[in-house]
Structure 1
Amino acid sequence: MIEKERLIKIYKNMNDIRNFELKAMSFFEQNILRGSVHLYVGEEAVASTVCSQLEDTDYITSTHRGHGHCIAKGAELGKSMAELMGKATGYCKGRSGSMHIADFSKGNLGANAIVGGGIPIAVGAALASHLKGTGQVAVTFFGDGASNEGTCHEAMNLAAVWKLPVIFVCENNGYGISVPLRESTSVVDISVRAVAYGFPGYTVDGNDVFAIDEVMQQAIKRAKAGEGPTLIECKTGRWLGHWTGDPQVYRTKEEVEEWKKKCPIQRVKEYMLQNKILTELEIDELDKNSLLAVEEAAKFALESPEPDPATVMEDVFFEN
């Protein structure tokens, strides 16, 4: 069971992510945000629930579809939107854009446009935690396509051998860009691959915050006890294309509509109402505040300055 305050936090984060992503898409369509973005709409339950159990000192690594992970780990909406727009006030001074955003202050070691690229980085962070004895947990988010990458399997094997405190979270939305899982992957449930490395694997409904939360609790307990990694496969669905210009000819509108019926935000809202955790008025206030927060973030990003060309060589090389 998820305690009241954390459930409200999860709901708030899901709303913030949804509204942030829709605003980013709007900016792209208006040619305000240059370059494409890969949006997290429909998958918000995974990052919001997983990160609700993490401390700022715990680590995450993300994917090219990483705005949701970043926000769920505590990033400011304004600095996040500014980064997407290449502004100097962004988390990486506008240099990372959409697919490489990082926030070390919150343990976010960065999104990664390379499929599977963040997985070994998380294992490295877990190794550092293990060697230093700091008790930190590392979580790596990746898609079903990345589960077939060599980096994924090498990282899982090493994490298992050394019993590292890392949790592998596979966000299986059924498609590697436009390729259906059934045409690219030899197993129906990606979680079964954990057996080959000798650690637990779970498959859960990725739109069910309670199911995700339960296995995440087990995974954290195992990691902190020095028992090693866990693989959590969250089966979910993205409502939008792989990227903002994706024609989506590889799937039907009916399939997308089915996923919309499983909206994780609506499911939590209904749960909170049915169990009298919040009233309709209180939920409406949360929804309103989320929209206002994203509008303020958008305003901050729009009014932020472009990077000064004179700083182009800064942060390129390490200096003592």
Structure 2
Amino acid sequence: MTAPPDDGTRVELYRTMVLARTFEEAMLREYHADKGPGFDIGKGLVPGEMHLAAGQEPVAAGVCAHLTTDDAVTATHRPHHFAIAHGIDLRRMAAEIFGRETGLGRGRGGHMHLFDPATHFSCSGIIAEGYPPALGQAFAFQRKGTDRVAVAVTGEGAANQGAFHESLNLAALWRLPVVFVVEDNDWGISVPRASSTCVPSNAVRAAGYDMPGERIEDNAVEAVYAAAGRAVARARAGDGPSLIEVHTLRLWGHFEGDAQAYRKDIEDVPGRDPLPTYERTLREAGLLDEAGAAAVKAEAVEKVEDAVRFAKESPAPDPAEAGRYVFADGGPA
């Protein structure tokens, strides 16, 4: 059994969730600031698509509370909350999203391709792509005789991909130190999970690969924390992989600009926001009062706005150097 989070950890879970949400709100603001007239994703300071994770913060906070920056995390095309919970540098992440030279990938990757060797974090725009690389990281950790673990995150729609099943099979066969995390936000873009997935819970699929599987309901951060604690401890002990699915919530569209006409639940969504829910829980427990909550939010705003300023003030990459970093030695300019 995993011990419940102590009072200090509970407040830290809240702090992580608030920071992640504050960052997403800032990206929402900056992304839409100059996309008009009309809506052109190629325009503005933040060009390209944008997938925001507002509502899914409990998953990242609960899982990453058990990790260090020596552990690896591979995330999805909706990655910011996991990047923040895993300790990525906010300034460099913001700069990458803005396409600036000071970004994690020197502005070449953008928000779906964040790579940070300092925290062993990566993500990809390809569905289920993060699962196989996590196996490689876990294999390396195992071969070196360490207790480091890899966490591989994907959405519920990707659980029908071949890469998902192949990864679970090989991780179990080799008893790799991997924690597989599935974020079930009910929607694979515009397709409800019931129309694409034959089982109501992907956690049951773990049994087919001889590993523990657990589903967390109600977007409950402390339940995620407990499940992740069990899974991470199992991986560190050399007992192999685990699968955790969390029924979470996508507050906003699949991407920015998504009209969400397909969503019949849209009017009820704000009432299921996990941040005020958890804040209320902490207040009732006497761990947070109005001043404390305001201080957490103010601290988050200060950090995020600093990162946004840094990004805006950073130089854009020189077009003459578009060929740099294509090859390991820097390659032709």
Report what 1:210 is aligned to.
222
Q: Where do 5+ consecutive residues of structure 2 fail to align?
A: 35-44
> What residue is the counterpart of 1:16 in the other structure?
19
Q: Tell me how far 1:206 sits from its aligned partner.
A: 5.6
Q: 2:310 aligns with which of 290, 300, 319?
A: 300
Match of 1:61 in 2: 74
How far is the alpha carbon of 1:72 from its aligned partner?
Answer: 0.9
Q: Is the 8 A contact 2:17 2:58 kept in 1?
A: yes
> In the comparison of the two structures, how many residue pairs are matched?
317
Q: Provide, for residues 257-291 of structure 1, a one-character-per-residue CA deviation record: whole Å limited to 9, x for no partner.
A: 43322322222211221112233211211111112
CA distance in 1, matches of 2:257, 2:99: 20
State the Cα deviation string for residues 206-251 of structure 1 (Å, max 9, x = none): 6211110111111011111211110000001101110001111111
Unaligned runs of 5+ residues in structure 1 are none
Structure 1 residue 156: deviation in Å?
0.3
- Aligned partner of 2:295 in structure 1 is 285
Q: Are residue 92 (structure 1) and residue 102 (structure 2) matched?
A: no
CA contact (8 A) 1:78 1:298 kept: yes
SS state at 1:114 partner: coil
Deviation digits for residues 63-104 of structure 1, max 9, x if unmatched?
A: 000111111110122211111110111111111101011111
Find out whether 1:199 has 2:211 as its counterpart.
yes
Aligned to 1:318: 328
- Aligned pairs for 1:166-245 (under 5 A) are 166-205=178-217, 207-245=219-257
Report the Cα offset of residue 298 of structure 1: 1.2
The answer to whether the Cα contact below 8 Å between 1:91 and 1:102 also exists between their aligned partners in 2 is yes
Give the CA deviation at 1:115: 0.2
Pick the aligned partner of 1:163 from 175, 198, 202. Answer: 175
Q: Which residue of 2 aligns with 1:129?
A: 141
CA distance in 2, matches of 1:196, 1:172: 20
What amino acid is the match of 1:44?
E
SS in 2 for 1:169: strand
In the other structure, the counterpart of 1:49 is: 62
Q: Distance in 1 between matches of 2:7 and 2:116?
A: 27
2:116 aligned partner, one-letter code:
D
Counterpart CA distance in 1 for 2:93 and 2:218 is 24
More moved, 210-219 vs 23-32:
23-32
Q: Distance in 2 between matches of 1:119 and 1:260?
A: 31
1:32-79: CA deviation from partner (whole Å, max 9, x where unpaired): 311120000011110111111101100000100011111111012221
Residue aligning to 1:27 = 30
> Residue type matched to 2:158 in 1?
A
Separation of aligned partners in 1, 2:204 and 2:269: 24
Q: How far, CA to CA, are the matches of 1:291 and 1:315 in structure 2?
A: 34
**Counterpart AA for 1:189:** S
Asked if structure 2 preserves the Cα contact closer than 8 Å seen for 1:43 and 1:206, the reply is no
Select 2:159's aligned residue among 109, 128, 147.
Answer: 147
Contact residue 251 and residue 273 of structure 2 kept, 8 A: no
- The amino acid of 1:72's aligned partner reads A
Provide the C-alpha distance between the structure 2 equivalents of 1:107 and 1:5, rounded to a whole number of angstroms. Answer: 26
The answer (yes or no) to whether the contact 1:205–1:212 under 8 Å persists in 2 is no
Q: Out of 152-161 and 296-305, give the one that drifted further.
A: 296-305
Q: Which amino acid aligns with 1:295?
A: E
Query: More displaced, 231-240 or 296-305?
Result: 296-305
Counterparts of 1:95 and 1:305, CA distance in 2 = 13
Cα distance between partner residues in 1 of 2:7 and 2:318: 46
- Distance (Å, rounded) in 1 between the aligned partners of 2:290 and 2:28: 28
* Residues 84 and 90, structure 2, Cα contact 8 Å, conserved in 1: yes
Q: Distance in 2 between the 1:4 and 1:159 partners?
A: 35
Aligned pairs (5 A) from 1:242-257: 242-252=254-264, 255-257=265-267
Q: Give me the TM-score of the superposition, normalised by structure 1.
A: 0.96
Contact in 2 for aligned 1:46/1:234 (Cα 8 Å): yes
Query: Who is 1:102 aligned against?
Result: 115
Q: How many angstroms does 1:301 deviate by?
A: 1.0
Assess if the C-alpha contact under 8 Å between 1:207 and 1:263 holds in 2: no
Percent of paired sites with the same residue: 38
Q: Residue deviations 1:129-166, cap 9 Å, x none?
A: 11111110100110011100000100000000011100
Counterpart residue number, 1:7? 10
RMSD of aligned C-alpha atoms?
Answer: 1.4
